[in-house]
Amino acid sequence: MEVLINSKTTCEHELELVVPASELEPRFEKYYKKYRRELAIPGFRKGRVPMKLIKKRFGESIEAEAIDEIINDFFKQALEERDIHPIGQPSLENIEYKEGEKLTVKISYETRPELELKKYEGFQLEKIVHEVTDEEIESRIEQLRERMAEFEEVEKPTDEDFVVTCDVELFGDDEQKEPEKRENMRLDLRDESMHPDLKAEILNMKVGDIREVELVYDSEEQEDELAEAETPTEPHVERMRVMLKKAERIVLPEVDEEFARKATEGKYDSVEALREDLRSRIAEFYEDRADEDLNKQIIDKIVDNNPVDVPESLVKMITDDLVEQVKQQYFGENFPEGFDVDHLREDMRPKAIRQAKWMFLREEILSRENITVEDEDVEAKAEEGAERLGIDKEQLITYYKQNSEAVDAIKNEKLFALLKAKSEIREVEGRENPGE
């Protein structure tokens, strides 16, 4: 057997097997004898059919089946002899064979890329720092008040500080068509996105009232068309029937000691302590965000400074995962009809390639720096989590040791801590919304 390897990149290869007829014949004979034992042809006893007849009638199909096994065996042998470890599923590209002659096979396969780390430390990074403001703290307190609000049921809403429950029937352009019904819709009259005419109508209703409402919408597109067209476009009109079923006044709690106790589940009993706790939490949020941003800067710089080929099968797998994440986040189980999934895959591909490159570079750095997770690392992480989450330390230790992803996260923390220690970090001011 002759083996030739043609490498397109450091991870994409084509292996050519050339098997001479002298090595094929014993394999073919093995298959012929196997079929001779099993074949039953009228006029001959089972297992006694002349070999010449078998080859004449079934030789082509028997040799084709034998060739499948021959290819698998010789390909496996070639990989073992050369210590090659494919990633993903190898692909049979071409077979050339004529009876009595050599067999030539080409098989493409992918492997881990060969890479040489050029630069992975000594970068200049920027860390975003944020000073928590009193306005942010008060905004968080207002959010807490909203979450702890009570609702007082009344006969009629008198201002925007109400939540109402309505049954709504929506009528389209076709008056003969059954209206679309939406029951028990809960509407916050403080919502600025609510149509002002609907809000005004509800403020003039009592519980049990039913009103016919017409809402006129002028979209931005319609406004642009109106400015350019000689004949004004018609605005969109939405007709509905609204029944007011319930009106509830929103009663926000006073910001006092009782509020502080409830908001912190008894942890603090003063408003000042609550504010300091919120300040600490907001600062922690920004610190975590800044740390994540530093990690991203490090990854980007390492990937940019260390060219590496990546297997297409891995890129495809990561792309599939990214597309699935988009589907689950925005659409649920299925994409809507007509959604261009191919376009989304193209958009996700550069990100998938970058993630694949980082996977291999990360492993190389971990190996070079001999970064591992020891028992003391797990114990330190568990102790931190136990205090922060209020969970028993020993339970967390058991969880970390049994969860490979958790161990990998600890390894990641050690890696980035090392890379940051070997980088120059300059603090810059930044102001971002801390989120909910």
Domains of the chain, by residue range, sit at: 2-110, 150-251, 269-429
User: What pLDDT does 241 receive?
Assistant: 93
Give the strand pairing for 124-129 and 424-429.
parallel
Average pLDDT over residues 277-299: 95
pLDDT tens figures, 120-166: 999 999 999 999 999 999 999 999 999 999 999 999 999 999 999 99
Q: Are 353 and 346 in contact (CB under 8 A)?
A: no
Q: What is the pLDDT of residues 267-285, one digit of tens each?
A: 898 999 999 999 999 999 9
In the DSSP assignment, the letter for residue 45 is -
150-251 belongs to CATH 2.102.10.10: no
Per-residue pLDDT at 229 exceeds 60? no
Among 226, 137, 240, 140, which residue's Cα sits nearest to residue 187?
240
Structure tokens at 335: 């994409």
DSSP 267: S
Fold topology of 2-110:
Alpha-Beta Plaits (3.30.70)
What pLDDT, on a 0 to 100 scale, did the predictor assign at position 223? Answer: 43
Mean pLDDT, residues 155-180? 86
| 357 HSE (CA, 13 A, CB side) | 19
C-alpha torsion sign, points 382, 384, 389, 393: positive
CA distances from 365 to 87, 300, 360, 416 (A): 21, 15, 9, 11
Q: Tally Cβ neighbours within 10 Å of residue 352.
A: 21
Residue 174: is its pLDDT beyond 80?
no
Rounded to an integer, what distance in angstroms lies between the CA atom of residue 163 and that of residue 203?
11
d(CA 296, CA 416): 10
Are β-strands 210-217 and 150-154 bridged in parallel, bridged antiparallel, or unpaired? unpaired
Average pLDDT of the chain?
88
- The three state secondary structure string of 359-417 is HHHHHHHHHHCCCCCCHHHHHHHHHHHHHHHCCCHHHHHHHHHHCHHHHHHHHHHHHHH
Q: Which two tokens stand for residue 33?
A: 């004898």
**Cα separation, 31 vs 59, whole angstroms:** 10
The rounded percent of the chain whose pLDDT value lies above 90 is 66
Least confident interval from 9-18, 74-83, 387-396, 405-414: 387-396
Residue-wise pLDDT for 23-59, tens only, equals: 888 888 887 777 677 666 766 666 666 767 767 777 6
- Record the tokens describing residue 65, joined without a space: 């089946």
Instruction: Say which DSSP state 156 is in.
Output: S
Least confident of 35-49, 53-67, 336-350: 35-49
pLDDT above 70: residue 98:
yes
Phi, psi (rounded to 5 degrees) for 193: -80, -10
Average pLDDT over residues 172-193: 85
Say whether pLDDT at 114 is over 50.
yes
pLDDT mean over 174-194: 87
Q: Residue 9: which of 375, 226, 311, 423 has the closest Cα?
A: 311
CA separation for the pair 190, 162 (Å, rounded): 7
Residue with tokens 């990690």: 295
Mean pLDDT of all residues in 203-208: 95
Q: For tokens 């040799």, name the residue.
A: 63
Residues 6+ apart with CB under 8 A from 261: 268, 269
Residue 302 CB neighbours (<10 A): 22
- 406 to 49, 221, 262: CA distances (angstroms): 64, 50, 33
81 vs 299: CA distance, rounded Å? 36
Q: Per the structure block, which two tokens stand in for 393?
A: 């330390």
- For the residues 219-248, what does the mean pLDDT come to? 68
Are 382 and 393 a contacting pair, CB within 8 Å? Answer: yes
Task: Using pLDDT thresholds of 50, 70 and 90, give the confidence band for residue 178.
Answer: confident
> What's the CA gap between 164 and 151, in Å, rounded?
11
CA-atom Rg of the chain in angstroms:
35
Query: What is the structure's pLDDT at 173?
Result: 62
Average pLDDT value for residue range 298-322:
96
Provide CATH code, domain 269-429.
1.10.3120.10
If one compares 221 and 147, the residue with the highest pLDDT of the two is 147
Angle formed at CA 225 by CA 222 and CA 226, multiple of 5 degrees: 85
Could you tell me the pLDDT band of residue 224, with boundaries at 50, 70 and 90?
very low
Q: Could you report the per-residue pLDDT of 231-241, keeping only the tens digit for each? A: 555 677 888 99
- Contact by Cβ (8 Å): 71, 63: no
Name which residue leads in pLDDT, 351 or 402: 351
Q: How would residue 433 be classed by pLDDT, with cut points 50, 70 and 90? A: very low
